[in-house]
Amino acid sequence: MDDIQTMSKESLLDTLSVLDKAERIYEEALKKKNTINSNWQRQTNETADKQYKKRVWEITGIISLPIVLPVLMDDINSGGLNTVVSFFIMWGINWLFYKLIDKIFNIQSRYHNHYLRKHTTASPNVMNQLHTVQSDITYNQSGLQKLAASINYPDRYLYNYDPARLFDIVSVGRADTFKEALNVLETDKYHDQMKQTSNLTYQSAQQAEMEARAAKGWAVAAAFFAANSNRR
Predicted pLDDT at 175: 94
Q: Is residue 26 part of a domain?
A: yes
Task: Give the whole-angstrom CA distance, residue 180 versus residue 184.
Answer: 6
With beta carbons less than 8 A apart as the criterion, state whether 133 and 33 touch.
Answer: yes
Write phi, then psi, for 153 (nearest 5 degrees): -90, 130
pLDDT of 1 over the 70 cut? no
Range of lowest pLDDT (1-15, 19-33, 128-142, 188-202): 188-202
- Higher-pLDDT residue of 39 and 205 is 39
Q: What torsion do the CA atoms of 156, 157, 160, 161 make, to the nearest 10 degrees? A: -170
Predicted pLDDT at 118: 83
Q: Is residue 58 part of a domain?
A: yes
- Higher-pLDDT residue of 54 and 116 is 54
Q: Tell me the pLDDT tens digit for each residue of 197-221.
A: 767 776 776 676 677 666 666 665 5
With beta carbons less than 8 A apart as the criterion, state whether 60 and 95 touch.
Answer: yes
Amino acid code (one letter) for 167 = F
Predicted pLDDT at 60: 87
Percent share of the chain, pLDDT over 90: 45
Q: Is residue 91 part of a domain?
A: yes
Percent share of the chain, pLDDT over 70: 80
Task: Give the whole-angstrom CA distance, residue 107 versus residue 79.
Answer: 38
Whole-structure pTM value: 0.65
Q: Is residue 123 part of a domain?
A: yes
Amino acid code (one letter) for 158 = L
Write phi, then psi, for 158 (nearest 5 degrees): -85, -25
pLDDT of 169 over the 80 cut? yes
Q: Tell me the pLDDT tens digit for each residue of 114-143.
A: 888 887 777 888 889 999 999 999 999 999
Burial of 29 from C-beta contacts in 10 A (0-12 / 13-18 / 19+): buried
Task: Give the whole-angstrom CA distance, residue 40 versus residue 42.
Answer: 5
Q: Is residue 173 part of a domain?
A: no
Burial of 71 from C-beta contacts in 10 A (0-12 / 13-18 / 19+): middle
Q: Is residue 211 part of a domain?
A: no
For every residue of 171-203, DSSP letters joined together read HTTS-SSHHHHHHHHHHHHHHHHHHHHHHHHHH
With beta carbons less than 8 A apart as the criterion, state whether 119 and 43 touch.
Answer: no
Q: Is residue 208 part of a domain?
A: no
Which domain range does residue 59 map to?
Answer: 8-153
Please state the domain count of the chain.
Answer: 1
Q: Is residue 13 part of a domain?
A: yes
